[in-house]
Amino acid sequence: MGKKKILVVDDSRTALFMVTTILRKERYELVTASDGEQALEMAASERPDLILMDVIMPRKTGFEACRELKRREDTRAIPVILVTTRGEGENVEAGFQSGCNDYVTKPINALELLTKVREHMGAR
């Protein structure tokens, strides 16, 4: 069985670096995108096992991209974990309404992130 692939989406290079550094230790194959539009293209072409996506991004927000992913037949089954600084209740609720499978707030707690990634990777 090949490595599990994760698409990490964030317009912040620092956030991308932090998330990929945490995940690299687990030997996942990682691909990245820097906005919601690119995330949709990468999800269709790369077929990741999981998507970690920022919410506040240019061109298309994480909420918009998540809704689109869940509407598409080819990407609907890919679990999406939203990763954002916006941890308020209404934002968490908006995330789940957009179709995300889970939610992680920044600053990222490595253990929490890895736990949620493992939970959703096992589901595929």
Kindly tell me if the per-residue pLDDT of 122 is higher than 90: no
pLDDT band at 124 (very low <50, low <70, confident <90, very high): very low
Please tell me the distance from the alpha carbon of residue 99 to that of residue 63, in angstroms, as a whole number.
8
The average pLDDT across 93-122 equals 94
pLDDT band at 1 (very low <50, low <70, confident <90, very high): low
The average pLDDT across 85-98 equals 88
Q: How many domains does the structure of the chain reveal?
A: 1
CATH number at 22 reads: 3.40.50.2300
Domain assignment of residue 30, given as a range: 5-122
Q: What is the pLDDT of residues 27-50, one digit of tens each?
A: 899 999 999 999 999 999 999 999
Q: What is the pLDDT of residues 55-81, one digit of tens each?
A: 999 999 999 999 999 999 999 999 999
HEC readout, 33-96 = ECCHHHHHHHHHHHCCCEEEEECCCCCCCHHHHHHHHHHCCCCCCCCEEEEECCCCHHHHHHHH
Sheet containing 80-84: give its strands across. Answer: 29-33, 5-9, 50-54, 80-84, 102-105
pTM of the model: 0.94
Please tell me the distance from the alpha carbon of residue 107 to that of residue 124, in angstroms, as a whole number.
27
Kindly tell me if the per-residue pLDDT of 86 is higher than 90: no
